[in-house]
Structures are given as C-alpha cells and as structure tokens.
Chains A and B, each alone.
Chain A
C-alpha cells in the first residue's frame, strides 16, 4: 500500500521540494538569475559548503558531532594558499597529515569514550591557532590548477551544478550503495549488533573521521580556488552551516540516519537562502536569519509529516 503520497515519500521529498520552492522564488523575483552566469554566480560558494556538509555528515552518521569543521576548513585553506602553492610536496604532506589527525581523533573519542562535542571544540581552537600560524595575515595565493578547476566554464551546465551532482552521486554510491558503506552506516544504527557480527567499531569510527577529514580538505581547496586567497577566519561559520545542512537534508542526530544527496541539497538550499533576500530587494540583514528560518520551517514540517506517519 505504498500510496503515492505516503508520509515516507513526503519525508524524502521534503529537502528537494524546499530547494525547488526556493529556486522558483528566486527565478520569479530575479529572472536574470535563470541564466548560465546567473546560476554560476548564485551557486559558486555552494561547492565548499557542500563539501564541508558531507564531512559533517560522516561524523553525524556514527552518532558524533564535529564542532571544529569550520576551523579545519580555514586551516586547509591557509595551507593551500601558502604551502601547497609555494612548496607543493610540503603542502600535500601537511594535508595528508591533517586527515591522519582526524582519524586519530576518531580513535581517541572511541577508545576513551569522550564526548565528541568537547574534543572537537578543543580542536577548533587548535585548527584556528594553526591557521593563524600558517597565515598570520590574510593573503596567500591559490595554486593555478585549483583556480582553473574552480573557474571551469563547461558548456550548457554551470560548473557548480555539475560539481554538486558529482559530489552527491559519488558519496551516495559509496555510502548508501556499496557493501562497505552499509557496514559504516550500520555502526550508527545499532553498534552492538555490528560488534556481534564481528565488525570493529574502532575501525569504523576511524574510517568515518578520516573521510570527514578528507572532505574537509576538499572543501578548503575548493574555497581557496574561489576566493584566490585565504585567511584564518575564512570558514569559521561552516561549522554551524554544515550541521544545519545535514539536518536540513533529512539527516538525524542519532541512529545513523543520513542522506548524502539530502545533505548536498541542504547545503545548496542554505547557500541560496542567504542570497534569496537580496533578490527580494528586502533587507540583506536578514540573510543569516533566512537560513535559520528555513531550517526551523523544514524541521517543523518534518514533525508534521512524522505525526501523520504515526497516525497511519
């Protein structure tokens, strides 16, 4: 009896529908955005936010929370704009080291049974401090190839759209479709059952944290490619945006319920919500507020849907 508009379907459709509604509203308000360059401009900054959101999603999937992703992306941006540009080998080694630190954090949190929220809070200071050490004053230069990649102008479809779709599909196939990803998600749903079946929760946590670190690195690289230079505070607000993006995309705090496609949609929605008001020719002061409001509205809608579901 999977009715066409069953609550479950509605629940899954909520993120894309909110994005579509927002896009339509923007097109109506400002028809010029409905062009190649308009969309390019509108969605450019969505790429690094999307990548950071995916990073946060890996952490949330194993029932932890990362309050340091913003600082981490800032640090990566600083390294990319300095070391990776000047001495590529050192830069690559540093970025690889950062991913290893992330995996180690996952191990520390699991082995010592620490609250991830405090550990990552501490790490946010560390990342920010390191970023200041690497790049004390705003500046640096993006490596040429990064710059070229981020300013690609493919025919017909703007680069940010292609990038978002590719990110969503790659992560979806890995995490939601592959045999490996299934085990990783299972660790969020019922860790005891996984242990009974002989899987190591420690390895799973380390993998998920390393993946988060990897996508954090990608996010930093993409960000520098767009801004051409970096500063230590460049991505601090990504911490809150990434959490909001995962939740907006249908993810939940516990139980391993996440959706990569939803997270990408959530991140794009948040980016658009920021610029939506400027097209309304209303006060641009409410940009951040619009992000919050959309988050609240979607969460409220979700409560309504799940109530309907319960009644069924």
Chain B
C-alpha cells in the first residue's frame, strides 16, 4: 500500500482494533523502523534515518494516545521540553507565550494557566496542552501533525474547537493525519479517508464518497452466517442460574449477567472499561455479585500474567497451590506431575515443564496462563483479551477447550477485541466509554451490530 499525504489536506485513518493505525503512526513518527517500504518527505528518501529526535526537524509532530507530558512540570515548562530553542534569560515568558497563544488559538476560552502543574490538570486539559504543543512552532515548522484519538477525552465543545482548528490549519497549507473512532467527526473533518484492516488499507477515497454505513461495512470482514449454536445458547440463558452480576463504572449502563455454563463475550473497542470490569469481578468489588471462585487469564502477558523468573511448571501451579499442600509443605513432585498433565492436555509445546517460561513462544506462554486458570478449582474464569498475538492454530485449540469446559458447567467472561472470537460466545455485551451499550443474544449478534454499537452514533 502507498499512502500519500498532500499539503493542505486532512486524511483520516479508521479501522477496528489491531487494524494497524497506531503502528503506521509510530512508523511516521520514527518510533518504529519500518520492516520494509520507504518513507519519503518532499521526494527525499528518509527511510532508516527517521528517529523521534529528528522527526520534529522534518516537520512531523505527533499527539500520542498515552500522553507524553512531564506531569511534574508546568504547562509552560513542558513547552520548553519539546522546543529546545526556548532558552536563555526570559525563556519562561517565551514558553508561556508560545503555549498560551496556541491554546488561545486552538481552544479559545480554555482557561488553562500556563504556570499550572500538569499533574493538577484534568485529563481533558492535559490533552489540550499536548495538542497545542504539537501545533506550536518555534524553529522547525509543523508540516504534518498526526493526531491519535485526539478527542477521546475532550468534551464536545472542545472537540469541535479542535476540529475547526484542524480545518483552518489545513487551509493554511498544513497536513493533518487524524485517527479516530468517531465516524461523525471523521466524515466532517477529513478530505480523504483511509479504512484499514489487518495492516493494510482496504478503502481510500474522498470523504464525500463515504457515509457512516459504508465506513462500517468497509471496516468489517465478509458477511457471516449465524451458527447453529444459537438455540443451545438461548437454552442456557433461560435455565441456568446467574453466577456473576456486575455493573461497569460509568453511570447509565446496563448490567452484565453471566449464567452457569455460559461463555459471555465483552466486546467493543479496546480500553472501554472491559478490563476494569473483569478485575472488579475478580476482586469481588462492591457492586458485583459473584457466586464461586474466580480465576483470571491475563491478556497482557508481560504486565499481568507470567512470572518471568519461573519455570513453566511453577507458572502453571501458582493458581492452585492449595491443592498440593501436604501438611505444611507443598508437594513439589505432585505440582510438577500436575503441570505435566496439563501440558499434555492443553498442548504446550515444550519437552520439559521445568524449562523457563521464557523459553516458550508467545502463544505457548498464553497456553500456560490458560492452564493456570483452567487447572485451578475456580468455576468462573475471566479472560482479559487473552488471544492477542496468538497464532490461529493455538486459538482453535483454546476455543475448543473453552467450549468443553463451559459444557462441564464452568462460566467464562471473555473480553476480546477480535470479532471472530465473539462467534464463540453465547451472549455478547458491547462496551463504550465505560458503559454497556448493547446486550446481544447469540442469535442477534452480527459483526455489523457490534461495530455500530462500538462507534458512537452521534458526534
């Protein structure tokens, strides 16, 4: 694929989770080196020599989703960090003026004092500072400004101001790349829209050539057929008792309920409150009713899951240590045999469970985490997008196992960002901005309905 950015245009990137938007942006900002392909600026090939440090000199500015301000500095001081030319006597006044003027220009009436500590600002205000800093110009001009979900934490008024500014910036000859899941603002603001899926661009055209429906269609894959399990799933929901009941953090949300033996899917874009809900169920936080023990399968293996210094056997058995107690002490041989038997059952590809967990591939590490949860006595398993970066073969094996365990009466809460996996669920709740916005039975579930619910209809 080739993506050309012209001066004086705003190009939007849309796509579902993992479509490759953020990766593309990281390549453009020099944070990731491209595996292949070229980056040219004004006809000059700069592939390989683009670093975050000189991206600014090339006129590329980024506003990242995770904010990159220093929380211990003031607004003006943060401007100094990314604009090294501000220095010398009276630098503080220059920095204040630079960031203050830009804030006034982009967000008139913002009310952010330039001498306030960033950590004391609300998320929305931090986002405004970050955006204003990217548009501010000292020595190098801002030729391309990349905005990754810039309005996600802004209210509608501030978002409107930003989009207006994008238009006027574009009119004055600048280039803007806008990544957003708010289809309304994408359609209104951009000159062209690129729809991404699976790391490639599947549609690229003038914004006026799209409407909301055609965008959703382009983001999804081919039409699906309703599977035959629909009837069976409905039966479970009607007869089995409820074992988990939980309400997400946001007000005005429906309640999530899971029945015994059910596989319940939590869908929506990533970071819409699904993980938080799972952790609350795991912690039995106030506002949740949980009937039975809970085990969790972490999605972010490195942060939430594996113990890197331990063997595979130790990583599996930590979830069910109580069962190996012989008097005061743990029976290590039993724990090892136990891990061994689970290796065979779940198909972890290793000659020896005493090998380090890091000797396994990502997919097999994930299997070990599944083994930890499934091997535990817990009857409720919550899964936090566990299949991220796992190969398709492993996925099929795990899906099969989840169905088997559910048939035996275990209950699964399954947060997933992949549309395919929702087909394995009996019931699906779609999350948006911390709330449940759709409650879909198996028979009603379709990719289009999930997408429609995931992307806010208004705005």
Contacts and interface: CB of A to CB of B under 8 A. Distances in A.
Contacts of B82: 193, 197
A186 interface: yes
Contact of B92 (A177, A195, A197, A199): A177
Interface stretch (B83-91, B241-249, B323-331): B83-91
Nearest to A190: B70
Residue with the highest number of chain B CB atoms closer than 10 Å, among A194, A198, A199, A256 = A198
A185 B248 CA distance: 38
Interface stretch (B73-81, B358-366, B432-440): B73-81
A192 B62 CA distance: 14
A256 B31 CA distance: 25
Nearest to A181: B77
A221 to B, nearest CB: 31
A198 B68 contact: no
Nearest to A183: B81
Contacts of A85: none
Interface in A243-262: 255-257
A256 B70 CA distance: 9
Given A196-B52, A256-B70, A256-B72, A186 B81 contact: yes
Contacts of B70: 185-186, 189-190, 193-194, 256
Contacts, number: 66
Interface string A163-199: 0000000000000010110110110111011111111
Contact of A179 (B31, B72, B88, B120): B88
B53 interface: yes
B80 A179 contact: yes
Contacts of B166: none
Nearest to B76: A182
Contacts of B87: 179-180
Contacts of B7: none
Interface string A255-284: 111000000000000000000000000000
B173 interface: no
A190 B126 CA distance: 14
Contact of A190 (B56, B68, B92): B68
Given A186-B77, A186-B81, A198-B53, A255 B71 contact: yes
A147 interface: no
A257 B72 CA distance: 6
A188 B73 CA distance: 10
A8 interface: yes
A177 B53 CA distance: 25
B80 A193 contact: no
A149 B92 CA distance: 35
B80 A182 contact: yes
A146 to B, nearest CB: 34
Interface in B60-110: 68-73, 77-78, 80-82, 84, 86-88, 91-92
Given A185-B73, A186-B70, A190-B69, A198 B84 contact: yes
Residue with the highest number of chain B CB atoms closer than 10 Å, among A177, A180, A189 = A189
Contacts of A256: 70, 72
A17 to B, nearest CB: 20
Nearest to B82: A197
Contacts of B92: 177, 179
A196 B73 CA distance: 16
A82 to B, nearest CB: 41
B22 to A, nearest CB: 15
B68 A193 contact: yes
A207 to B, nearest CB: 16
Contacts of B73: 182, 185-186, 189
A6 to B, nearest CB: 10
A170 B335 CA distance: 62
A183 B80 contact: yes
Contacts of A183: 80-81
B80 A255 contact: no
Contacts of A195: 52-53
A186 B86 CA distance: 15
B120 A8 contact: yes
Interface of B: 31, 52-54, 56, 68-73, 77-78, 80-82, 84, 86-88, 91-92, 120
19 contacts: A177-B92, A179-B88, A183-B80, A185-B70, A185-B73, A186-B77, A186-B78, A189-B70, A190-B68, A190-B70, A192-B68, A193-B68, A193-B69, A193-B81, A194-B70, A197-B52, A197-B53, A197-B82, A197-B84
Interface of A: 8, 177, 179-180, 182-183, 185-186, 188-190, 192-199, 255-257
